[in-house]
Amino acid sequence: MARGDYGSVSESFVLRPAAPVNLNEVRRLVREAADWLRKSKITDQWARPWPDLDRRDERMLNDLLKGKTWLLWDSTAAAATITIDDEEPVDSHDNPVWPDHKRDQTALYVRRIVVSRRYYHHGLGAGLLDWAAAVAMRDYSTALIRVDVWTTNHKLHEYYKGQRFKHCTGRDPSELPDYPSQALFERDASEARSTHTGLFTEEESPQERSRRPRHSRPPRQLRAPAQNSVADPV
């Protein structure tokens, strides 16, 4: 099986927009991933909150307030999270992370993609990336999804390449001296597999649905064929 494929798992997984009351679930997933990275990987990713704990939590809460963060639930347990944003990422001084020659292209930016270690081998990270690609086309009419990856986590760089992302030339590092995620990757959103939502059901309340872009379509649930699962890094 090609790297980046994922297998069928429990039909109990449900992807829902997260709310501010879910801040602790998001923080727990990030903390769990940071602990695992510190013990298991040769990287300084999330060794300390960026730029500091208070501002990291403020960013998380802001994403929750704006409806940009989603949580994947296994019954009442938060199994994974992803944040999607049509606004480009900036550093702590509001400098754009992506270089000027890329900024005139519309894209959906993904970040904070974290899968609980309990669900490490279910392929949920790959499924969430495919879901984000489908959402980019469905709700934002854009052909690209982008992610800025921790600069020194080279194994994670290889993971995104395995998920059909292409590495892009970034800014001169001296322009973003305090920004830790300067490895830039983008992917053609049309490369999303039609079976990705077989891993989970996407659900929204009527209030949430009314806030979606006007050209969006309702979510669908498809069944994924049974396959061997692969591991998802953070």
Q: How far apart are CA 65 and CA 111, in angstroms?
A: 16
- Report yes or no on 182 lying in a domain: yes
Token pair 């490895």 in the structure block, residue:
183
pLDDT at 141: 95
pLDDT at 224: 34
- Cβ 113 vs Cβ 85: under 8 Å: no
Taking the alpha carbons at both ends of the chain, their separation in whole angstroms is: 21
pLDDT at 72: 97
pLDDT at 184: 98
In the chain, the number of structural domains is 1
**18: domain range?**
13-210
- Report yes or no on 224 lying in a domain: no
- Report yes or no on 75 lying in a domain: yes
- Report yes or no on 3 lying in a domain: no
Domain at 206, CATH number: 3.40.630.30
Q: How far is CA 1 from the centre of its chain?
A: 23
Q: 46: alpha, beta or left, given left = phi > 0 and alpha = psi -120 to 50?
A: left
DSSP code string of 37-103: HHHHSSS-TTSS-SS-HHHHHHHHHHHHHTT-EEEEEETTEEEEEEEEESSPPB-TT--BSS-HHHH
pLDDT at 12: 79
pLDDT at 127: 94
Q: For the chain, list residues with pLDDT below 70.
A: 1-11, 192-197, 205-234
- Report yes or no on 221 lying in a domain: no
Its sign, for the CA torsion 159, 161, 166, 172, is: positive
pLDDT at 5: 46
pLDDT at 212: 59
